[in-house]
């Protein structure tokens, strides 16, 4: 129970460019995992963000894939998953949210709530995941803090409670008053060092000495208003995902991050029960269970290896112990399970509920697979969404046919995109959620598998999986739509509709056929 209690597994989510990766780096700095934080975009410091390790991430300064990092802090074991913010990689982020117990949402103080933040919050609401909000970039001119709080409540549909309060902002930003610990943090812009804390009596005269008369008066008025408007902070309502605590700071300047971390490890939930199809799995059960929520190819370009990320749900994972791979009905042993610090990894002997373990994968795993000590059980809720963009993928270098086939297979295992084979002409069609995916696939095929591909346009509207109890009608449908029928990698029937009208007509004409828009049914 002690091991379970001290685990904190969470994801950092937000719209692109709000500062997730910078915040992740600063958390690692406090966890003692890195000594100097690399300014992500600075050319003088030839360091890129630790959690963005793929070549393409370094070039574009955005995160393309979720990275997993763990560190110890004040007796707690913290597992961070830094997710891509870009909407083209939303599926990766949605799947990551199934493996965490809570989330930190980063909001840009100048831009407020943006589209991607809303979408991710919807997923957190569906799963009842507790969230803490960090309002970043307070050292730049932005919106009024009270307006920001109102915007968070209306846009994210959740009550908020500030646990720290900014003293001015932009050029005049002087620091933050920590409501949770009742002390003052004074701001000195420095990317490497941590700011000092001052304990002051908010009603005494010391406050003026630190921040000046005008700001002191405003702070007292603001705090009075905060206490008047928002109910006192209650940990239970946070854990029930009804209230989101709010912190202010500037991740780039190391400011407000430690306060966030100190409060987070104290109030965030330890690993919770996981719902399987058959029953509820509690973390304190003696037998090991876990599921695969992500697969990454080529985490180390020298070895061409795949790693499957397994979230431990209950019991204790032990190296070299025999575990049942439920879908294949095989027993597997893992001689070198690893834990991560972005790309660096170290072999471990055991892991507890809440931990993320990297298992070497030679093609046996798919996203959503379950591992147990023999019990037949299935964890669900890791869907593949129906793609909205399609292109034919063609081999641009006939000498590299094998490499291309292997590359496509491994990248599809990661769940980056989906592959359909057209029944009519046998051509391969790649379906994705966003345009950027195609560039990433092409780039990675060339750099990681030395295979060149070229894209050819195909105008399709949506892919949907079809099934029916009426065999005759299913056959009739396939005959009539012969040119638009494809198979996915599991060999299931997929109908590629070329317009919304065609799809609606098909649904009306064939009422005994069920059309599914996610691959889980």
DSSP letter string, 92-138:
HHHHHHTT-SEEEEEEETTTBS-HHHHHHHHHHHHHT--EEEEEE-T
Helix (H) or strand (E) holding 213: helix 213-229
pLDDT higher than threshold 70 for residue 44: no
Higher pLDDT, 240 or 180: 240
432 CA to centre of own chain: 18
Overall fold of domain 389-516: Alpha-Beta Plaits (3.30.70)
* 511: CB partners within 8 A, 6+ apart: none
Overall fold of domain 274-372: Rossmann fold (3.40.50)
Helix (H) or strand (E) holding 210: helix 206-211
Higher pLDDT, 310 or 3: 310
DSSP H helical segments within 331-470, as ranges? 401-413, 435-449
Higher pLDDT, 84 or 192: 84
Higher pLDDT, 170 or 323: 323
The 3 state secondary structure assigned to 42-102 is CCCCCCCCCCCCCHHHHHHCCCCCCEEEEEEECCEEEEEEECCCCHHHHHHHHHHHCCCCE
Mean pLDDT for the stretch of residues 275-290? 84
Q: What is the pLDDT of residue 46?
A: 38
Q: How do residues 465-494 score in pLDDT, each as one tens digit?
A: 888 888 888 888 888 888 889 998 888 888
What is the three-class DSSP state of 333?
coil
Q: How confident is the model at residue 202 (pLDDT cuts 50, 70, 90)?
A: low
Instruction: Give, in order, the Cα–Cα distances in Å from 195 to each of 104, 167, 178, 283, 372.
Output: 22, 15, 13, 38, 47
pLDDT higher than threshold 80 for residue 86: no
Q: What is the pLDDT of residue 519?
A: 63
Q: How do residues 52-81 score in pLDDT, each as one tens digit?
A: 445 544 454 444 445 677 777 888 888 887
Q: What is the pLDDT of residue 358?
A: 83
Of 57-61, 115-119, 279-283, the range with the lowest mean pLDDT is 57-61
What is the three-class DSSP state of 328?
coil
Q: Where are the domains of the chain?
A: 2-267, 274-372, 389-516
Q: What is the pLDDT of residue 342?
A: 46
What is d(CA 440, CA 62) in angstroms, rounded to the nearest whole number?
Answer: 12
Higher pLDDT, 49 or 302: 302
Query: φ and ψ at 399, to 5 degrees?
Result: -75, -15
The average confidence (pLDDT) of the chain is 77
Residue with the two structure tokens 């409060």: 263
Of 158-167, 248-257, 337-346, 506-515, the range with the lowest mean pLDDT is 337-346
Residue with the two structure tokens 């493996």: 99
For 229: left if phi > 0, alpha if psi spans -120 to 50, otherwise beta; the answer is alpha
Q: How confident is the model at residue 300 (pLDDT cuts 50, 70, 90)?
A: low
Mean pLDDT for the stretch of residues 507-519? 81
Q: What is the pLDDT of residue 169?
A: 75
Mean pLDDT for the stretch of residues 281-293? 85
Nearest C-alpha neighbor of 219 from the set 188, 177, 191, 261: 177
Q: What is the pLDDT of residue 215?
A: 76
Mean pLDDT for the stretch of residues 438-442? 82
DSSP H helical segments within 414-458, as ranges? 435-449
What is d(CA 521, CA 173) in angstroms, rounded to the nearest whole number?
Answer: 52
- Are 105 and 132 in contact by the 8 Å Cβ rule? The answer is yes
pLDDT higher than threshold 80 for residue 367: no
Same fold, 2-267 and 274-372: yes
In the chain, what percentage of residues exceed pLDDT 70?
Answer: 79
What is d(CA 395, CA 493) in angstroms, rounded to the nearest whole number?
Answer: 25
DSSP 205: S
Task: Please state which CATH class domain 2-267 belongs to.
Answer: alpha beta
CB-based contacts of 41-46 (< 8 A; 24+ apart in sequence): none
pLDDT higher than threshold 80 for residue 108: yes
Instruction: Give, in order, the Cα–Cα distances in Å from 461 to each of 359, 412, 422, 432, 501.
Output: 37, 21, 15, 12, 10
Q: How confident is the model at residue 41 (pLDDT cuts 50, 70, 90)?
A: very low
pLDDT higher than threshold 70 for residue 193: no
Instruction: Give, in order, the Cα–Cα distances in Å from 492 to each of 198, 421, 460, 505, 520.
Output: 63, 11, 19, 22, 12
Q: Quick one: angle between helices 20-30 and 257-267, nearest 10?
A: 80
Q: Give every strand in the sheet of 428-432, ordered side by side.
A: 453-457, 389-395, 428-432, 418-422, 485-487, 493-497, 462-468, 513-516
Residue with the two structure tokens 């991740």: 251
């Amino acid at each position: 129970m002690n091991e379970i209690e001290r685990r904190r597994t969470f994801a950092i989510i937000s719209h692109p460019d709000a500062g997730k990766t910078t915040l992740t780096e600063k958390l690692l700095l406090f966890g003692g995992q890195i000594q100097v934080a690399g300014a992500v975009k600075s050319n003088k410091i030839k360091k890129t963000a630790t959690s963005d390790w793929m070549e393409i991430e370094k070039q574009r300064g955005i995160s393309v894939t979720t990275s997993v990092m763990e560190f110890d802090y004040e007796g707690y074991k913290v597992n961070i998953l830094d997710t891509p913010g870009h909407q083209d990689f939303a599926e990766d982020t949605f799947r990551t949210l199934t493996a965490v117990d809570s989330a930190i949402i980063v909001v840009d103080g100048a831009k407020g709530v943006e589209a991607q933040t809303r979408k991710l919050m919807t997923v957190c609401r569906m799963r009842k995941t507790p969230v803490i909000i960090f309002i970043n970039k307070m050292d730049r001119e932005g919106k009024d803090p009270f307006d920001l709080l109102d915007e968070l409540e209306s846009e994210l549909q959740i009550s908020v409670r500030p646990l720290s309060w900014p003293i001015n902002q932009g050029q005049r930003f002087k620091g933050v008053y920590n409501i949770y610990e009742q002390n003052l943090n004074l701001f000195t812009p420095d990317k490497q060092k941590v700011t000092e804390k001052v304990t002051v009596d908010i009603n005494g005269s010391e406050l003026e000495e630190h921040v000046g008369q005008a700001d002191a008066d405003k702070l007292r008025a603001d705090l009075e208003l905060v206490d008047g408007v928002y109910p006192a902070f209650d940990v239970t309502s946070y854990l029930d995902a009804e209230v989101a605590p709010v912190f202010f700071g500037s991740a780039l300047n190391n400011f407000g991050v430690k306060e966030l971390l100190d409060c987070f490890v104290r109030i965030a939930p330890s690993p919770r029960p996981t719902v399987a199809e058959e029953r509820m799995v509690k973390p304190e059960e003696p037998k090991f269970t876990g599921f695969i929520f992500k697969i990454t190819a080529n985490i180390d370009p020298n070895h061409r290896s795949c790693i499957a990320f397994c979230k431990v749900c209950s019991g204790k994972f032990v190296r070299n112990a025999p575990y049942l791979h439920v879908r294949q009905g095989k027993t597997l042993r893992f001689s070198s399970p690893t834990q991560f610090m972005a790309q660096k990894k170290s072999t471990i002997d055991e892991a507890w509920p809440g931990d993320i373990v990297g298992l070497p994968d030679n093609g046996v795993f798919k996203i959503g697979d379950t591992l147990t000590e023999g019990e037949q059980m299935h964890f669900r809720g890791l869907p593949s969404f129906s793609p909205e963009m399609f292109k034919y993928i063609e081999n641009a270098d006939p000498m590299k046919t094998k490499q291309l086939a292997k590359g496509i297979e491994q990248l599809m295992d990661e769940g980056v995109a989906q592959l359909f084979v057209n029944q009519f002409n046998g051509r391969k069609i790649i379906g994705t959620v966003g345009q950027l995916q195609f560039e990433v696939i092409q780039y990675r095929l060339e750099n990681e598998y030395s295979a060149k591909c070229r894209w050819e346009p195909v105008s399709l509207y949506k892919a949907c999986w079809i099934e029916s109890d009426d065999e005759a009608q299913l056959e009739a449908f396939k005959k009539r739509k012969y040119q638009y029928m494809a198979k996915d990698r599991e060999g299931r029937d997929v109908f590629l509709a070329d317009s919304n009208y065609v799809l609606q007509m098909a649904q009306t004409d064939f009422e005994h056929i069920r059309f599914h828009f996610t691959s889980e049914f």
